[in-house]
Every structure is written in C-alpha cells, then in structure tokens.
Amino acid sequence: MKILVTGGAGFIGGNFVHYMTKKYADYKIVVVDNLTYAGNLATLKDVKDKITFYKADIADRATIDGVFASERPDVVVNFAAESHVDRSIDNPEIFLQTNILGTQVLLDASRKYGVSRYHQVSTDEVYGDLPLDRPDLFFTEETPIHTSSPYSASKAGADLLVMAYFRTYALPVTVSRCSNNYGPYHFPEKLIPLMVVKALADEPLPVYGEGLNVRDWLYVEDHCKAIDMIIHKGKVGEVYNVGGHNEKTNISIVKTILDILEKPYSLITYVEDRKGHDLRYAIDPTKITKELGWVPETAFADGIVKTVHWYLENRKWWQDILSGDYKKNESTWGI
Ligand code: NAD
Ligand code: DAU
C-alpha cells in the first residue's frame, strides 16, 4: 500500500507519518509539503529514511500531476492547509488558494490516476459554534455547515468539493472532522504550545477575551488512529466526526499548563478578543465509535503532561522555530 500524505511536515500530518511508519513497516509513505512557515522538516527527521519527500505546493497542478504520475499512490490523505484562524482573519487569500483550490488539484489528480481512497482531513470548525449555556448540544455529522472565519469557510468549501467529487465522479472519498488536537510538534502559534513556550520564558500569556471560550481537546495520536481506521474501514462518501468529549475553557487550559510548569498565574494577560470568536466546539463521536470501533486512548490529564514534557525535552525543535533557524536548516532536515 502506498499512501500519499500532504502536509506531512506540519503538526498532525507529521504525527500521522510517525504513526503510520511505526505501525505499517511495509507501507510506502510519500509526503508532499511545500514547507510554508508551518512546515518543518525537523518534524520528520526521525523517519526520513522511511519516506519519500516532495517539496511541492498542492495548488500547483503541473507539479502535483507529476508526483501522482511517478508515485501512483493507492490512498491520498490531505492534511495540507493553512490552519491558523488568526492568520485567516488577517489575510484570507492564501486560505482559499491552498485549502480550496489545492484540494481541487488533489481531487483531479486522484481521479486522473485512480486511487482507492481520497481522505480529506477537515475540522469541527465547519459547523460553526455552539452556545456556552447549552452543554446538551453537540456537533453531529448532520449539523449544518455554518462557518465563522475565513479559515473555517475555506475548509467547508473544500469539504463540499470533496463530496461533490463523490457524487459527480464517484471518486471514493471520506472526510473526517476533528476537534482541537494537542501533542508533540504543534507549531507555537496555537494556544497550547504558545502558552508553554511563553511560560518557559516568563513572558505574558495572551488570553483572548475572558478566556471562557470552550474547545474540545484530543491527543493527536488519537486523531491519527481515527484516520487510520477511516482509510482502512470507513465507508466511501461518508463524513466521520472525531472527538473525545473533552471540553475545556481556554483559561483552564492555560492554568493547567502553568501548574505543570510551576509558573505563577500572574503571567496570564487578558487581551482583545479574536474577531468572530467561536464560543464552544463539542463533537459527538457516536458514529465513528459505533461503525469503526474508534475510542480515544489518551486521557487529557496524561496527554497534557506528556505534551508539556515533550516541549521541555525538545527545546531545539521549537527554539529553532522562534529564531527562524528551522528555515535555514531545511536542507539538512533540521539535524
Ligand atoms: P499545520 O499548519 O501545523 O500544518 C500544515 C502543513 O501543510 C504544513 O506542513 C505546511 O507546510 C503544509 N502546507 C500548507 N500549505 C501547503 C500547500 N499549498 N501545499 C503543500 N503543503 C502545504 O496544520 P495542522 O494543525 O497539522 O492541521 C492539519 C490539517 O488538519 C489541516 O487541514 C487542518 O485544517 C486540520 N485540522 C487541524 C486541527 C488542529 O487542531 N490542529 C483539528 C482538526 C483539523
Ligand atoms: O477545532 C479544530 C481547529 O482547532 C482546527 O481546525 C484549527 O486548524 C486549529 O488551529 C484549532 O483552531 P482554534 O482557533 O480553536 O485554535 P487556537 O489554538 O488558535 O485557539 C484555541 C483557543 O484559544 C481559541 O478559543 C482562541 C484562544 N487563544 C488562542 C491563541 C493563539 C487565546 O486565547 N490566545 C492565543 O494567543
């Protein structure tokens, strides 16, 4: 089996490559990533001898066609995306370019060369948000698409395109919509890694608004396991929600990190709220649990300690990002 993984030098894609190379020694893994600011070859250095890597933009039709022509993958898993909501608010254009048009290029190549599965890694953000005072409500696969940010709108556009290629061309697709991930190799612009590196530097921790927005956190390896199950056992044309019923306010996450690092709460600084800030995300994972037997394995109390310790033990990985050296070291896989 040959799997083409796009965005494999990013956070979740990188963890997925580690997971798959460990679990399936006989699979061939081809990674396509154009190494944007969020892509880091150091994330893949431990598995570099087990993969084939192409530095390529998923929206570059000619190059992607060439990769498919020479690699002929059986399965495509598309992680490649612009992924940060705040950046999408500042500059939406690249989000539409990569997330929508890039997806279309991959779908066309998948059709042309014939794949047994095209899997789109999507997000719970396509459902918009839930009110804070209705803890009984959850996102199911039937929840209407109702996006808030240019990022989530671009991911929703891609999802609709993927489903259109299933209906119109019978391309064998699946889509997963996961809640917030955390774990190793998470770029330090997102809440958890940002707070860890700022706390270690005794810098102010910027909490948006009152810190009461709720996210549903899942350890990244549990997301990788879900995608593994979907590409092997999932039904084509189906959407699967992925989440572990682990809702936390942002302020409680920040305090947990400060507790683990034994740093004072006085580092917390409340700053201006994000524009259009989604209030609460909460996934109902009944479908993937019932149909595929997926259940999360890592409890948040363990996963967050493991994650903070990873950042303590892998300082070079994130310090090279903060200094910009990770881009200078690209030719040597950040070694
Ligand atoms: P990330 O920003 O850490 O990584 C994205 C990767 O894609 C980077 O390696 C980047 O270089 C690459 N990339 C970006 N544009 C590209 C292009 N045009 N061509 C080729 N490669 C390109 O993102 P992440 O957090 O790992 O998210 C991966 C996927 O999972 C995204 O599709 C995201 O929408 C989705 N998702 C993320 C989360 C989360 O909590 N992080 C949750 C649910 C879904
Ligand atoms: O739900 C899945 C989504 O989770 C993914 O689709 C996105 O790619 C991923 O980035 C993530 O989106 P969020 O916007 O939820 O993640 P972020 O880490 O940016 O923010 C989490 C919460 O923390 C959010 O309510 C905003 C808040 N926040 C974030 C930052 C960066 C702060 O309070 N301060 C900050 O500095």
What are the domain boundaries of the chain?
A: 2-333
Q: Binning pLDDT at 50, 70 and 90, where does residue 330 land?
A: confident
β-bridge mates for residue 54, sequence order: 32
Residue whose CB lies within 8 A of the most ligand 1 atoms, among 51, 78, 79, 99, for a mutation test: 79
What is the structure's pLDDT at 29? Answer: 98
Chain centroid to CA 31: how far?
Answer: 15
Asked if pLDDT for residue 93 goes beyond 80, the answer is yes
Asked if pLDDT for residue 142 goes beyond 90, the answer is yes
- Tally the C-alpha atoms within 13 A of residue 22's C-alpha that lie toward its C-beta: 12
β-bridge mates for residue 6, sequence order: 32, 78
13, 36, 24, 15: which is closest to 98 by C-alpha?
36
β-bridge mates for residue 269, sequence order: 206
Q: Where are the alpha helices (DSSP H) in the chain?
A: 11-23, 61-71, 85-90, 93-95, 103-113, 150-169, 191-200, 220-233, 250-261, 286-292, 300-313, 315-323, 325-328
What gap in Å lies between CA 33 and CA 17, rounded to an integer?
12
What is the structure's pLDDT at 329? Answer: 80
Q: Can you tell me which atom of ligand 2 is nearest the CA of 123?
A: 6
Cβ count within 10 A of residue 147 = 20
How much distance in Å is there from the Cα of 83 to the middle of ligand 1?
5
Rounded mean pLDDT, 69-85: 98
What is the structure's pLDDT at 300? Answer: 98
Cβ count within 10 A of residue 110 = 26
Mean per-residue pLDDT of the chain: 98
What is the structure's pLDDT at 277? Answer: 98
Of the residues 54, 127, 151, 240, only one is catalytic, namely: 151
- Tally the C-alpha atoms within 13 A of residue 17's C-alpha that lie toward its C-beta: 33
Residue 330 falls in the annotated catalytic set: no
Owner of token pair 């997330």: 99
Asked if pLDDT for residue 333 goes beyond 90, the answer is no
- Whether 143 contacts 124, CB under 8 Å: no
Residue 216 falls in the annotated catalytic set: no
DSSP calls for 246-308: -EEEHHHHHHHHHHHHT--GGGEEEEPPPTT---B--B--HHHHHHH-----S-HHHHHHHHH
What gap in Å lies between CA 35 and CA 123, rounded to an integer?
21
Rounded mean pLDDT, 3-10: 98
* 59 Cβ inside 6 Å of ligand 1: yes
Q: What is the DSSP letter of 97?
A: I
Of the residues 33, 57, 82, 125, only one is catalytic, namely: 125
- Whether 41 contacts 55, CB under 8 Å: no
CATH fit for domain 2-333, picks 3.40.309.10, 2.60.40.10, 3.30.70.330, 3.40.50.720: 3.40.50.720
Atom 33 of ligand 1: nearest residue by CA position: 83
Q: Binning pLDDT at 50, 70 and 90, where does residue 332 land?
A: confident
Chain centroid to CA 47: how far?
Answer: 19
266, 280, 239: which is closest to 142 by C-alpha?
239
Ligand of minimum distance to the alpha carbon of 149: 2
Write the pLDDT tens digit of every residue in 251-285: 999 999 999 999 999 999 999 999 999 999 999 99
Write the pLDDT tens digit of every residue in 22-62: 999 999 999 999 999 999 999 999 999 999 999 999 999 99
Cβ count within 10 A of residue 125 = 23
Asked if pLDDT for residue 117 goes beyond 80, the answer is yes
Asked if pLDDT for residue 85 goes beyond 90, the answer is yes
What is the structure's pLDDT at 334? Answer: 75
Asked if pLDDT for residue 67 goes beyond 80, the answer is yes
Residues 6+ positions from 321 with CB-CB distance below 8 Å: 40, 187, 188
Cβ count within 10 A of residue 81 = 28
274, 143, 265, 287: which is closest to 213 by C-alpha?
274
Q: Binning pLDDT at 50, 70 and 90, where does residue 308 land?
A: very high
Q: Can you tell me which atom of ligand 1 is nearest the CA of 43?
A: 9
Residue 265 falls in the annotated catalytic set: no
156-175 core/surface letters (b: 16 or more CB in 10 A; e: else): bbbbebbbebbeeeebbbbb
